[in-house]
Amino acid sequence: HAKTSGRNKHHLFCEQTQYEQVVRFNYELALNSCLEKEELQLLYQPIYGNKQKQVVAVEALLRWKKDHKYMVSPADFIPVAEQTGLIIPIGEWVIRQACHDLPIVQAKYGQQTKIAINISRIQLSEPDFIDRINQILEEEQVDPQYIDLEITESVAMIDTVSECSSLLQLREQGYTISIDDFGTGYSSLSTLTRLPVDNIKIDRSFVAQMNPPVLKALLAMAEALELHVVAEGIEQEDQWRQLLELGCNDFQGYWISYPMPLDNLPDLPHFLSSVSTDC
């Protein structure tokens, strides 16, 4: 399935410059061996819960250290991995590594801390995705309640009944589901009410624009639908203050912490003493 859609997508690349095509071809070749060469790494970015006044989760963010030298951004290689089908073994590596790291994360931030894992739609649409993720968790002895699955908002996801039922099944087993980059896709209010999800992550473009009426509407909607709201891309104290006032629950961004290697997770919250959190 992934291979077929990959082939179709090649037509799109006619529009790319020759340079981009060469880069992509290079990636495609090199990505094939990234697992055996152990070139992948996970960084973890803390998500701070205002109610708990502590780190409630860390998001696993994948890095590819090509030839153990160049750091390739996931924005550049995830699309390639999706087109070639490599996202399946890479995605499984991510899940396994995150499960493996969970005890260290929990030792740092508390036993309730979750790991949020980005899941590609290609993974979610694999018929055996649920069996595979359950098996990995079982092997790593991790309870699904500590795993949050982040899925990017997109039209097709919402329209596909089978994906909707996958999400339902996953939730029944204890996983939580977050809609990532919320607001950048095309989901309407009515489709959102049908989505079996727990959290929405407001895209950082909304945080950067900081348009209070828009954010108020977004948060009111989330409240009505009983969805938990995470704000992404908090880069300044001011953004944090304003979103706190608007009623946002959880916060993630460079101002709180950059994505960090497992052995370098920051002691948080460094900023609490300087910020009033009563509003």
Q: Which residues bind ligand C2E (CB under 6 A)?
A: 45, 60-62, 73-75, 78, 94, 118, 120, 150, 180-181, 204, 232-235, 253-254, 259
* Distance between CA atoms of residues 149 and 176, nearest Å: 6
* Distance between CA atoms of residues 43 and 139, nearest Å: 22
30 or 203, CB closer to Mg ion? 203
As measured in angstroms, the least distance from the Cβ of 120 to ligand C2E is 4
Q: Which does 253 bind (CB under 5 to 8 A by kind): Mg ion, ligand C2E, none?
A: ligand C2E
Binding characters for Mg ion, 196-225, by CB under 5 A (x = yes) = ------------------------------
Amino acid in position 146: Y
**DSSP letters spanning 24-46:** HHHHHHHHTTTTTTT-EEEEEEE
As measured in angstroms, the least distance from the Cβ of 64 to ligand C2E is 10
Question: How many CB atoms neighbour CB 41 within 10 A?
Answer: 14
Contact 47, 250 (CB under 8 A): yes
Contact 253, 204 (CB under 8 A): yes
Q: Is 67 left (phi over 0), alpha (psi -120 to 50) or beta?
A: left
Q: Which does 94 bind (CB under 5 to 8 A by kind): ligand C2E, Mg ion, none?
A: ligand C2E
- Vertex 5 angle, CA 152 and 162, to 5°: 55
163 or 232, CB closer to ligand C2E? 232
As measured in angstroms, the least distance from the Cβ of 150 to Mg ion is 4
Question: How many CB atoms neighbour CB 272 within 10 A?
Answer: 12
Q: Which does 233 bind (CB under 5 to 8 A by kind): Mg ion, ligand C2E, none?
A: ligand C2E
5 or 193, CB closer to ligand C2E? 5
Q: Which does 144 bind (CB under 5 to 8 A by kind): Mg ion, ligand C2E, none?
A: none
* Distance between CA atoms of residues 198 and 148, nearest Å: 9
73 or 193, CB closer to ligand C2E? 73
150 or 163, CB closer to Mg ion? 150
> E strand or H helix at 3, and its extent?
helix 2-9
Q: Which does 62 bind (CB under 5 to 8 A by kind): ligand C2E, Mg ion, none?
A: ligand C2E
73 or 135, CB closer to ligand C2E? 73
- Vertex 238 angle, CA 275 and 232, to 5°: 100
Q: Does residue 150 interact with Mg ion by CB under 5 A?
A: yes
- Interface residues with Mg ion (CB under 5 A) are 118, 150, 180-181, 232
